[in-house]
Structure 1
Amino acid sequence: MPDYLSFINEVLWGSMMIYLLFAAGIWFTVRSGFIQFRSIPQLRKNLKNSLSPQPGGLTSFQALCTSLAARVGSGNLAGVALAISAGGPGAIFWMWMTAIIGMATSFAECSLAQLYKEADKQGQFRGGPAWYMARGLGMRWMGVLFSIFLLVAYGLIFNTVQAHSVAHALRFAFDCPEVLTGGTLAALTLVVVVTGIKGVARLMQWMVPVMALLWVMASLLICAWHAEQLPAVFNLIFKSAFGWREAAAGALGYTLSQALTAGFQRGMFSNEAGMGSTPNAAAAAASWPPHPASQGIVQMIGVFVDTIIICTASAMIVLLAGPVDLPADTAGIQIIQQALINLTGGWGAGFVGFIIILFAFSSIVVNYIYAENNLLFLHPDARRSRWLLRGGVAVMVLLGSLLSLPTVWQLADIIMALMAITNLTAILLLSPVVTLIARDYLRQRKLGVQPVFDVSRYPEIEEQLAPGAWDDLPRR
């Protein structure tokens, strides 16, 4: 089975996904008017506005923290270590590239999710790729296909990745049995997910900033302690990114292809730009200012924080520690634990174990919220199915602590590629709408007025929207 999965991965990632992701990122960078660069002066203001509650949905900050909770998981620790193992230090450069161009892709998908959102029976906004496929493209079948992919990915497979990292981190640090870790994690997940999207969002708006700050501060302290090595580390990253570092003195040389593939795979798993997951959180927000682009810009911040800040923090720890003396098939999380032990002493393994518990638990909870959202697209009154989904999540968390690492990561890569292909196809078909949203927002910003999306200006889009989503905008 692993050989078969490896072949599928090679076909998807070696021949298709890298070019598709790169092309989509460049396309939306141009079509949105280089929005990720032009919106920099507005980022502080957008973050400030994101704290203000609005009727009908989460605050933008809650939606940002919810999406960050899904992004900031084992991929930021174990995934970075695996990327360096598979593609060398140069993989980190290509992870940065996925973030920079992925910000435009994230803007596109999250703005579309905001535009095509609709209110459920409780008045909570819902939406995501399935909704803009059904409403924007008139292709409900495509939305159904995407929802099935997402249910399998976020309801099942990705949770095994998170549980696997936690179980192996705690075994390495405290010799805690994997079954005990998986069972406890599954039980805690069930307790939290029954509170629904609003309860999860309230938890994540406090949990995510704290856990991210803890990890980044630890990395900054280590970097300050080893400041004299930093120029050599960054030089190694840039040289290895283009295959300029040759094998010498017992060191392994990596090709451009290896660095590129590993960087894009792990970068996308981490920041999720283009995968179609983040729009599920973006659609739940009642953005202020009341314009689809405002939520797109807020979610771009999440891509930057996840990859440029948190993944880089992990990469610095691994690269400053140098080669770690562990077996070739060692789990990625154990690589970063051993790296921190080499740099700081024995307490490093326990600290990583604590951080990965926070990272993985937040991801598992929000993964369920994404899966539930798409379950409701397929069947709006899915009460019994919700409990089946919750049970499935708990079982996969338990099993994930026992599965072998290569199988888990290969399955995650395959389902991630299938989701991304479906979602990228949809947002590329809707790129004229993305351009319209970006231009409308930037035009109003240039005029010095607060952007408001006036649907009456665009009758061809207005007829596609859910009633009440944009025609009764709040005023201040």
Structure 2
Amino acid sequence: MDSIINFLNNIFWGYILIYGLLAVGIYFTVRLGFLQIRHFPEFFRSVLKAPSKDRGGISPFQALCTSLASRIGTGNLAGVAVAITLGGPGAIFWMWMVALVGMATAYAESTLAQLFKTRDENGQLRGGPAFYMSKGLNAPWAGAIFAVSLIIAFGLVFNAVQANSIAGAMEGAFDLPPIGVGVVVAILAGVVIFGGIRTIARVAEFVVPIMAGLYLLVALYVIATNISEVPHILGLIVKSAFGFEEAIGGIAGAMLNGIKRGLFSNEAGMGSAPNIAAAATPNPHHPSSQGLVQGLGVFIDTILVCTATAILILMSGVLEGGSTLTGVPLTQAAMGVHIGSIGTYFIAIAIFFFAFTSIIGNYSYAENAVVFLKGGKAGIFVLRIAGLLMVVWGAYESVATVFNLADAAMGLMATVNLVAIMLLSGLVVKLTKDYFQQRKTTDSPIFDPKDYPEVAEKIDLNIWNEGKK
């Protein structure tokens, strides 16, 4: 079994996705006219507008925070450190490039998720890749493959991985027993996820801005107190990216590790964030506005949070002198240089919140997949119990083998999603042109189903006609 999983991971992550995700990002960037650069202010505007009322929906800001809850995890602390130790400072430059084109991919997939959203039996808005594959491409089988893969990766295994990170950090900083930490995390997560999507969104809306904000404030403090070093650090990142500075693995190592870690961190094209994007009531009431919101999520995750970690590490000087530290220990050591012994505890607490919010964010995606598979209330209950048990298990067990399974499942879902959004790219272009054409004359573009006869029988007209009122 291990050999099969390793083979699949080699195919997905060694060939298909490392190039596929990047190529699709470049494709949408060019075809959408460099949307993320030309219309960058619109990404913020789509989040900051007052939420509109819609039965069964959450606000765009709640959707952004929930997707960030999943995106901003231990990868932003440990993953960046690994990228630097394996690929040198130049890896950060390639993370930036991946995020830049990934904003267009994230926009495309979440715009489609909004367009094909529907309501479940309780009136809650639902949607995502499985839905636009089933409706937009008339391929329910592809949607089913995607949904099952999503449940395995995000609903189960990744929660064990996040719990393992929390337990390790708590044990190292406070000498707390892993099993005890796992039980407490499972109880806290259970309180949130048993409240459903709306409760998850409300918790994310409260915790994520504080969590990310405090981390970025510490980074800004470090930058401000070492401002004279900033030009040197930024120069080092760019020079190392192109091999002008000695770097581990040279330009190829910097590029490969930066791209891999960037793709894993921001999740653009994976098909994860669109599941919560579909649950939002966009304002303006147009699918493109929620695509813009999720594109901003990629920017915040990589350009802000990952860059903050990178600067903290590179400014600390910990890597100088042949240090063998990597992952969380490297980030903790760097923080210790900047703010003293409290840095170890700060990173441990940051990991707790980053990983905990990832658990509830990941669960929200998986619940959406269960709804697509028509699992009903019984299926959702089983998912909740199984997900919480994985949290407890992951806190004290090695998750290496099962993490490989999650990588394979995520590789499969991402591959299916990339094919789907490419096949539906013409629709994304039409929606984008419609949105920005209207923006020339109004602050609130409105989606009119009559202008899209090709999908009139595939979308929920009740939802979109309500929004026109």
Task: Please confirm whether the aligned pair reaches a TM-score higher than 0.5, indicating the same fold.
Answer: yes
Aligned partner of 2:304 among 300, 309, 314: 309
Q: Report the Cα distance in structure 2 between the residues aligned to 1:419 and 1:403, rounded to whole angstroms.
A: 26
Partner of 1:123: helix, strand, or coil? coil
Residue identity over aligned pairs, in percent, reads: 47
Flag the 1:403–1:296 CA change in 2: closer, same or farther, 3 A: same
Does residue 446 (structure 1) correspond to residue 435 (structure 2)? The answer is: no
**Bigger mean CA deviation after superposition, 157-166 or 37-46:** 37-46
Q: Give 1:316-465 correspondences, 5 Å limit.
A: 316-323=311-318, 332-381=327-376, 383-404=377-398, 407=401, 410-448=404-442, 450-465=444-459
Does residue 283 (structure 1) correspond to residue 264 (structure 2)? The answer is: no
CA contact (8 A) 1:17 1:417 kept: yes
Write out per-residue CA displacement over residues 152-176 of structure 1, whole angstroms, 9 at most, x where no aligned residue.
0111221122112211211221122
Q: Give 1:65-464 correspondences, 5 Å limit.
A: 65-246=65-246, 253-323=248-318, 332-381=327-376, 383-404=377-398, 407=401, 410-448=404-442, 450-464=444-458
Q: Report the Cα distance in structure 2 between the residues aligned to 1:217 and 1:188, rounded to whole angstroms.
A: 26
CA contact (8 A) 2:93 2:237 kept: yes
Q: Report the Cα distance in structure 2 between the residues aligned to 1:123 and 1:200, rounded to whole angstroms.
A: 17
Flag the 1:376–1:149 CA change in 2: closer, same or farther, 3 A: same
**Bigger mean CA deviation after superposition, 364-373 or 154-163:** 154-163
CA contact (8 A) 2:447 2:468 kept: no
Q: Which runs of 5+ in 2 are unaligned?
A: none
CA contact (8 A) 2:286 2:447 kept: yes
**Bigger mean CA deviation after superposition, 319-328 or 417-426:** 319-328
Alignment RMSD: 2.2
Structure 2 residue identity aligned to 1:137: L
Q: Report the Cα distance in structure 2 between the residues aligned to 1:55 and 1:38, rounded to whole angstroms.
A: 33
Write out per-residue CA displacement over residues 318-367 of structure 1, whole angstroms, 9 at most, x where no aligned residue.
11123359995x67222211221122211101111111111111110111
**Bigger mean CA deviation after superposition, 221-230 or 17-26:** 221-230
Does residue 48 (structure 1) correspond to residue 43 (structure 2)? The answer is: no
Structure 2 residue identity aligned to 1:283: A
Give the drift of 1:289.
Answer: 0.9
Write out per-residue CA displacement over residues 218-270 of structure 1, whole angstroms, 9 at most, x where no aligned residue.
011111222222222222211222333336xxxxx223332222222221222
TM-score of the aligned structures, taking structure 1 as reference length: 0.93
CA contact (8 A) 2:51 2:281 kept: no
Partner of 1:219: helix, strand, or coil? helix
Partner of 1:176: helix, strand, or coil? coil
Flag the 1:3–1:181 CA change in 2: closer, same or farther, 3 A: farther
TM-score of the aligned structures, taking structure 2 as reference length: 0.94
CA contact (8 A) 1:131 1:143 kept: yes
Write out per-residue CA displacement over residues 291-337 of structure 1, whole angstroms, 9 at most, x where no aligned residue.
00011111111111111001111111111123359995x67222211
Structure 1 residue identity aligned to 2:300: V
Q: Which runs of 5+ in 1 are unaligned?
A: 248-252
Give the drift of 1:78.
Answer: 1.3
Does residue 469 (structure 1) correspond to residue 457 (structure 2)? The answer is: no
CA contact (8 A) 2:181 2:395 kept: yes
CA contact (8 A) 2:152 2:406 kept: no
Q: Report the Cα distance in structure 2 between the residues aligned to 1:333 and 1:42, rounded to whole angstroms.
A: 35
Q: Report the Cα distance in structure 1 between the residues aligned to 2:227 and 2:308, rounded to whole angstroms.
A: 14
